[in-house]
């Protein structure tokens, strides 16, 4: 006899919006700049400047590139927000041109946005909860169709 399966807490969509490789090169160049600034003071300060500047730049790139978007356990988790899919309307995949429009002249200042300029495509989801003043959620994603499919699947399961 087969047991009924419990609702899975495994994410149906999970994406980390990592920074591009070129940003890591820039972090290395910032470290080199720190070394050059400290160079007149001697070898030890030069090495300290290299390590300190590279570490600070790497922390900045890493933290900016750590934004995560997940659909898990009936919720959309984007950055620090956790929104139940029951409070969301139909998701809309945006191509690069439409995503740029929603990031710029179509944007509403009340919207919740997880934007990364280096990710050209996005998903826009209306917030249907009448108690929430947020009109929509804008999420940069490299896989907009997969995110839309995960949100639709979570909405029908709820």
* Tens digits of residue pLDDT in 66-93: 889 999 988 999 988 899 999 999 999 9
Q: pLDDT over 90 for what percent of the chain?
A: 71
- Judged against a pLDDT cut of 80, whether residue 148 lies above it is answered with yes
- Judged against a pLDDT cut of 90, whether residue 7 lies above it is answered with no
Q: What are the E-state strand segments in 51-121?
A: 68-72, 75-78, 81-84, 88-94, 112-114
Q: pLDDT over 70 for what percent of the chain?
A: 92
Cα–Cα distances in angstroms (integers) from residue 4 to residues 1, 7, 8, 9, in the given order: 10, 10, 12, 15
pLDDT at 157: 79
Nearest C-alpha neighbor of 120 from the set 149, 102, 141, 91:
141
pLDDT at 1: 41
pLDDT at 3: 44
Distance of CA 147 to the CA centre of its chain: 12
Q: Which of 39-48, 76-85, 127-136 has the largest mean confidence?
A: 39-48
pLDDT at 11: 67
- Judged against a pLDDT cut of 60, whether residue 51 lies above it is answered with yes
Q: Are residues 56 and 89 in the same domain?
A: no
In a domain, 69, yes or no: no
In a domain, 106, yes or no: yes
Which is it for the CA torsion 145, 114, 67, 153, positive or negative? negative
In a domain, 10, yes or no: no
pTM: 0.80
Q: Are residues 95 and 139 in the same domain?
A: yes
In a domain, 9, yes or no: no
Q: How confident is the model at residue 102 (pLDDT cuts 50, 70, 90)?
A: very high
Counting the structural domains of the chain, the total is 2
**CA separation for the pair 83, 75 (Å, rounded):** 5
Q: What are the E-state strand segments in 31-102?
A: 68-72, 75-78, 81-84, 88-94
Nearest C-alpha neighbor of 73 from the set 64, 81, 84, 88:
84
- Judged against a pLDDT cut of 50, whether residue 5 lies above it is answered with no
Question: pLDDT higher for 86 or 2?
Answer: 86
Phi-psi region of 125 (alpha: psi -120 to 50; beta: other; left: phi over 0): beta
Q: Are residues 87 and 52 in the same domain?
A: no
In a domain, 77, yes or no: no
pLDDT at 80: 87
Q: Are residues 88 and 125 in the same domain?
A: yes
Tell me which residue range forms the domain holding 134: 83-157
């Amino acid at each position: 006899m087969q047991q009924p399966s419990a609702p899975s807490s495994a994410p149906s969509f999970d994406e980390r919006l990592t920074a591009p490789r070129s940003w890591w090169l820039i972090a290395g160049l910032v470290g080199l700049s720190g070394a050059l600034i400290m160079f007149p003071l001697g070898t030890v300060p030069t090495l300290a400047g290299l390590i300190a500047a590279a570490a600070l730049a790497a922390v900045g790139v890493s933290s900016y590139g750590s934004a995560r978007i997940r659909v898990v356990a009936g919720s959309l988790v984007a950055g620090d927000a956790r929104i139940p899919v029951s409070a969301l309307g139909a998701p809309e995949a945006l191509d690069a041109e439409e995503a740029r429009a929603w990031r710029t002249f179509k944007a509403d200042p009340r919207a919740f946005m997880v934007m990364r300029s280096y990710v050209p495509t996005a998903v826009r989801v209306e917030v249907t909860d009448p108690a929430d003043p947020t009109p929509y959620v804008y999420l940069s994603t490299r896989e907009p169709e997969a995110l839309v499919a995960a949100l639709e699947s979570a909405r029908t399961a709820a």
